[in-house]
Structure 1
Amino acid sequence: MSLSLKVYQAFDRAFITELPADDAAALDRKLDIAAKAFADRDGWLPAYQRMAILRKTSELLHDNRDRFAMMIAREGGKPLADAIVEVTRAIDGLVNAADEIRNFAGKEIPMGLTAASLNRLAFTTKEPIGVVAAISAFNHPLNLIVHQIAPAIAVGCPVIVKPAATTPISCVEIVKLLWEAGLDERWCQTFVTDDNTLAESFSTDTRVAFLSFIGSAKVGWYLKSKLPPGTRCALEHGGAAPVIVDRSVDVAAVVSPIVKGGYYHAGQVCVSVQRIFVHEDILESFTENLGARVAALQVGDPALKQTEVGPLILPRETERVSNWIREAVDAGARQLGGGRLSETTLLPSVLLNPPADAKVSQLEVFGPLTCVYGYRNLDDAIESANSLPYAFQASVFSSDIAVALRAAKRLDAAAVLVNDHTAFRTDWMPFAGRRQSGYGVGGIPWTMQEMADDKMVVLNGVS
């Protein structure tokens, strides 16, 4: 009996399509194909071909921009305006990977620094690490895939990519474009399944040299613990991103980027604004402005151009977020906004001063909610911001450079955004979680480094 995976619209759970799914035999066959492609060193694709394929794929994606954007809006629930931005980023990301090949090289290692190293020439070269197993997440169903497969192709690694079971269409379609652009299927394959046991087998197979995982910390750290000796990995998880708002700011000016960072894709972003620490001198004004801006957000069908906030990915996620909000309110937090529009769509809300031990203060919400806390002393706000076992991106808004620099220096984060929200990202910058938020470094050029090995060559007898 053939397996299949049914795909539904996030917003109204309407059926979209049914895709063929892979079983254990298909997985073994695909891993074998990838391993044999890598083992045939004479068959490795030269750099110019990899560049040409990536550029051609970018052109094809540009021609299909609107189709992909609607696909993202339907299967993932991202508002169409933001889905268009995602496709635009993916188009550029493919070119970014192609361009990086020009600079992807080793270096000379100095010799002759001791008597024993005389008459030698040493240099390093870059080699692909091997078969890449990529497991992706639902919230950016195209661009996250590009972040995993484009670096692998650029470096010369065979890659097998498993999309989220809720959003597989974008992945399948971008891989088809790569094949159309001239990439032999051996070098990029899809692995479509909703079987977690099979996904674990995929991740931990001895033929895999590198695991690229984007998703929950619980799953990512578990898979890392199961990897065979020698298998490398990169894990991209999430957090509960903190924002510090200093009393020197123009409140009306800073609320807009904070709202974008907190409610973009209904808060389903690994660095979404979640915990906002506001100086007491401006707390009332900030809260009033924030509440008004959140209440004005256009919520609804993500396929409509005017929609700013769409659904969560599954009904169970709306139940979870609603329960967390209810728990915080019962414990004394004050709620602004909120409510439910549909089975999967929550109206955006703000919680004022939820308890420090509430789930919304301790865990990643991944929903259309931000939490506001007052502070008097900057160092106290920084201490609260740093109090969780996650550390990804953080923000500080201030017109006082001394405050901004003090916060930037002391916030425990891989990146501190000054006068910008925590969800800002370009696809060529390093993107990495610290502590429980991740392992390794993302961002297309940085991922290429992760997926490569350095080989040193030493020539003796050079005079």
Structure 2
Amino acid sequence: MVTSTIPVHNKYTWDVIKVLEETPYEKAEEILDRAVKGFKTMRSMPSYKRAEILEEVSDRLRKRQEDYARIIAQEAGKPLKYARREAYRASVTMKFSAEESKRIYGEVIPFDAEPRGINRFAYYVREPIGPIVAITPFNDPLNLVAHKLGPAIAAGNSVILKPATLTPLSALELSNELINVGLPEEALQVVITSGGGKLINKILDDDRIKMVTFTGGVEAADQIIRSHGIKKYAMELGNNSPVIVWEDADVDKAVPLIVDAGFESQGQNCIHAQRILIHEKIYEEVKEKLIEQTSKLIVGDPLSDSTDVGPMITENEAKRVESWVDEAIKEGANLLIGHKRSRNIYYPTILENVNPKSKVAVKEIFGPVMLLYKVHDIDETINIANSTPYGLQTGIFTNDIKIAKKFIDGLQFGGVLINDTSDFRVDFMPFGGYKFSGLGREGIRFAIEEMTEIKLVIYNFNI
């Protein structure tokens, strides 16, 4: 058996950090058999034991926050201050998973609400769904893995994890922690393989896999669903987030939040603030302050504490963003700042007067680019915000509760944040979107609901 290798690079220097062996295709059957065995073990493990495992891993993540942050900064290019935040959030995700593992409740159903139900007693319970395949992206290589593993383990499932080949080191480190604190080895297996490779497709094709939880792009999600048949799918996909700044907004408080939401993690974030819809009365003020704040961002080595913006995940991705902005400028957009590239570093960029049919306006840019729009009334603003195929999260800055309510009612998004940007999440909240932004919801309790089946029990006392 010839084993291929996958090098993992430092995304700033492009030095090789580590070389990993690719999981051979020939191991597919063994992996599936182990997943079935792992599921039998996990479903019989009492919830207090699952909680102890997750709690211990949460503690280890917290104690090793700096270690994990440095791994993230190197393999993903995420500036250290944001990498530290991700490592902290992963510990929180595991802690809440531990707590929720002891709160997987059923419910009694009042059957006497209908005459035929008299003298019948009914309830339902939630049971683990079975072996799960979890596929995670490069942009949050630790916490998005935690969001798959924590709820799956809490619910009593086994997992086959396929992390992004560009950023697998955080996932491997977390998986090793789980095994080291007592999770059965067959309950969690990590496969290192390319996204559309033969191995992962064979695993996904197998009927023993009961669920696929995926975070990534719409096209890949569509291919998975079309190719691998009837299973349960949880999909957290793309977005093109609008942030609305209304005429009564506190501009000085809004602007720093918007700049952070636009350029944190180089815009490689599904709730990145991409379109900024600004009321005409304050448009010029907000525009000038956004440009000023953006000009102060420090671009460079993600391992430096002073860096605000690091490298994109690959040079090809930086070139793609650069080409989309070139295209938008040719189609009439005005460049306000940025649009410079050095290898895989793309500098924070702001555009205005963007053609509504340009790629940067319609698609998810997944890069450090913001678009400014001048808006005049609520209906127009809602129409622009809703005009893309996505609907994950949006933010609105206003101090008028009636204005906020009109936006809440009209916006087609899974999350509507008042006096905040689209780019805010606590890890226990329901997280997911409308339209092509996904299927189902993440957030520990909500993910557990996705990862369990309802079993109904009815006693007939008429006999």
AA matched with 1:392: L
Query: Which residue does the alignment assign to 2:291?
Result: 291
Inter-CA distance 234–249: structure 2 relative to 1 (3 Å threshold):
same
Structure 2, unaligned stretches of length 5 or more?
A: none
**How many angstroms apart in 2 are the aligned matches of 1:30 and 1:121?**
42
Query: Which residue does the alignment assign to 2:235?
Result: 235
Contact 2:322 2:341 in 1 (8 A): no
Query: Which residue does the alignment assign to 2:244?
Result: 244
Alignment pair present for 1:342 and 2:308: no
**How many angstroms apart in 2 are the aligned matches of 1:116 and 1:245?**
55
Query: Which residue does the alignment assign to 1:14?
Result: 15
Alignment pair present for 1:205 and 2:206: yes
Describe how 1:299-314 pairs up with structure 2 within 5 A. 299-314=299-314
Count of residue pairs the alignment pairs up:
461
Contact 1:5 1:194 in 2 (8 A): no
**How many angstroms apart in 1 are the aligned matches of 2:304 and 2:116?**
71
**How many angstroms apart in 2 are the aligned matches of 1:176 and 1:414?**
34
**How many angstroms apart in 2 are the aligned matches of 1:294 and 1:201?**
46
Percent identical:
35
**How many angstroms apart in 2 are the aligned matches of 1:315 and 1:201?**
31
Contact 1:12 1:344 in 2 (8 A): no
Aligned-residue offset at 1:112: 3.8
Aligned-residue offset at 1:38: 2.5
**How many angstroms apart in 1 are the aligned matches of 2:41 and 2:64?**
34
CA deviation map 1:332-387 (0-9, x unaligned): 21112214353111110100111111111111011111000111122111111111
Query: Which residue does the alignment assign to 1:45?
Result: 45
Aligned-residue offset at 1:440: 1.0
AA matched with 1:23: P
Greater Cα offset, 379-388 or 329-338: 329-338
**How many angstroms apart in 2 are the aligned matches of 1:36 and 1:150?**
19
CA RMSD of aligned residues (A): 1.6
Contact 1:396 1:408 in 2 (8 A): no
Aligned-residue offset at 1:108: 1.0
**How many angstroms apart in 1 are the aligned matches of 2:353 and 2:367?**
18
Aligned-residue offset at 1:121: 2.5
CA deviation map 1:29-85 (0-9, x unaligned): 1111111333468x7211111011001111122222111100000000111011111
Query: Which residue does the alignment assign to 1:30?
Result: 31
Inter-CA distance 98–195: structure 2 relative to 1 (3 Å threshold):
closer
Contact 1:433 1:439 in 2 (8 A): yes
Describe how 1:48-63 pairs up with structure 2 within 5 A. 48-63=48-63
Alignment pair present for 1:326 and 2:300: no
AA matched with 1:184: P
CA deviation map 1:3-23 (0-9, x unaligned): 221100112211110012112
Greater Cα offset, 416-425 or 28-37: 28-37
**How many angstroms apart in 1 are the aligned matches of 2:447 and 2:329?**
42
**How many angstroms apart in 2 are the aligned matches of 1:311 and 1:113?**
61
Query: Which residue does the alignment assign to 2:417?
Result: 417
Contact 2:325 2:339 in 1 (8 A): no
Query: Which residue does the alignment assign to 1:138?
Result: 138
Contact 2:250 2:397 in 1 (8 A): no
Greater Cα offset, 113-122 or 152-161: 113-122
**How many angstroms apart in 1 are the aligned matches of 2:111 and 2:118?**
7
Query: Which residue does the alignment assign to 2:190?
Result: 190
AA matched with 1:245: V
AA matched with 2:325: I
Normalised by the size of structure 2, how large is the TM-score? 0.96
Inter-CA distance 280–202: structure 2 relative to 1 (3 Å threshold):
same
